[in-house]
Amino acid sequence: MGIDDICHTSLTLGLGFIAPADDPVPVGKGEPGNCTVKRTPRARPGVTAVEPYLTLALSRESYDVGGVPKTAVAPSDGNSSDQGEGRRRHSSPHSTVSSFSSQRVKREGYLSSSEEVEAEPLKAADEDDSGGVSRRRKKLRLSKEQSALLEESFKRRSTLNPKQKQALSRQLNLRPRQVEVWFQNRRARTKLKKTEVDCEILKKCCETLKDENRRLQKELHQLKTLQLAQPCQLHMSGRATLNVCPSCQRVDSKSPFSMTPMAHTHNRMSNPSTAC
């Protein structure tokens, strides 16, 4: 299928299709209360409601139980910045066709009735005070219970497979996408925190090494001075030599004239992390 074909398909089957704002569609067949939600594609600022987006379903029969076109790419959840992750993702490695796929829709749980968990956050985000279509995303504040459960899950595993995500989203009464985003952000924060901790450790390590270096330089200087003052004592046997580490120039303070190599010193310096 070429680009032209795709374009024709979009025009023929889906261009300008908008679920009527006053036509709530049922969501969540098995959900308690069988709530309804206005799944209205929200317009971008300055863009009319007929902004083209793709759908292959024009009739109500083509909706799944979640009330969402099974193969449609709706304009995601609506505000200007979060338009169509599925439209833009993999723009480089994947083709235009691919980026018009239903990735985002699937992620949002639109494709599968089993994935449609709840829609209240969407509903809240869909309408402004005047009952019209809001262009702002409604930020959800997770409850303490939700946060605790998410944290607990994150402690067990920092990534979720689709089943786990689904189960967790049901348990939390959140959309799978929300669980996914939470885990992504959580992983990012964890890594950032770890990086900060590592940075502090390295700073301390660096200071320690600087101090040690200064001390060793001083020690070396003293020994060189001593060597100049008493050369015969340092070459009494003709075999004894200063035991100086070639990399850090440290002299074995316990036995400066030993014949044994300073393996421990080399190891310490070649692996700075063990030095701290």
Return the residues of window 78-137 that contact DNA according to CB under 7 A.
Answer: 79-85, 88-95, 97-98, 101-104, 106-107, 121, 136-137
Site string for DNA, 136-165 (x = CB under 7 A): xxxxxxx----x----------xxxxx---
Provide DSSP, 224-273: HHHHHH-HHHHTSSSS----B-TTT--B-SS-TT-SS--HHHHHHHHSHH
Binding residue for DNA, selected from 6, 13, 51, 186, defined by CB under 7 A? 186
- Taking the chain, what is the end-to-end CA distance rounded to the nearest angstrom? 61
Binding residue for DNA, selected from 3, 7, 148, 181, defined by CB under 7 A? 181
Between 51 and 85, name the residue whose CB sits nearer to DNA: 85
Between 146 and 243, name the residue whose CB sits nearer to DNA: 146
How many angstroms separate the CA atoms of 205 and 107, rounded?
A: 44
Min CB(63)–DNA separation in Å: 19
- For residue 195, give Cα distances in angstroms to 5, 175, 184: 49, 30, 16
How many angstroms separate the CA atoms of 27 and 117, rounded?
A: 8
Binding residue for DNA, selected from 40, 71, 113, 178, defined by CB under 7 A? 178
225 binds DNA (CB under 7 A): no
Min CB(68)–DNA separation in Å: 14
Instruction: Name the nearest CA neighbour of 265 among 275, 256, 276, 255.
Output: 275
Token reading at 86 = 């599925």
Instruction: Name the nearest CA neighbour of 75 among 32, 17, 130, 128.
Output: 17
Binding residue for DNA, selected from 38, 42, 70, 177, defined by CB under 7 A? 177
Min CB(157)–DNA separation in Å: 10
Q: How many residues bind DNA (CB under 7 A)?
A: 52
> How would you class 80 by CB atoms within 10 Å of its CB: exposed for 0-12, middle for 13-18, buried for 19 or more?
middle
Give the angle subtended at the CA of 141 by the CAs of 146 and 179, to the nearest 5°.
50
Q: Which stretch binds DNA (CB under 7 A): 16-24, 72-80, 211-219, 254-262?
A: 72-80
Binding residue for DNA, selected from 12, 34, 184, 255, defined by CB under 7 A? 184
Interface with DNA by CB under 7 A: which residues? 76-77, 79-85, 88-95, 97-98, 101-104, 106-107, 121, 136-142, 147, 158-162, 177-178, 180-189, 191
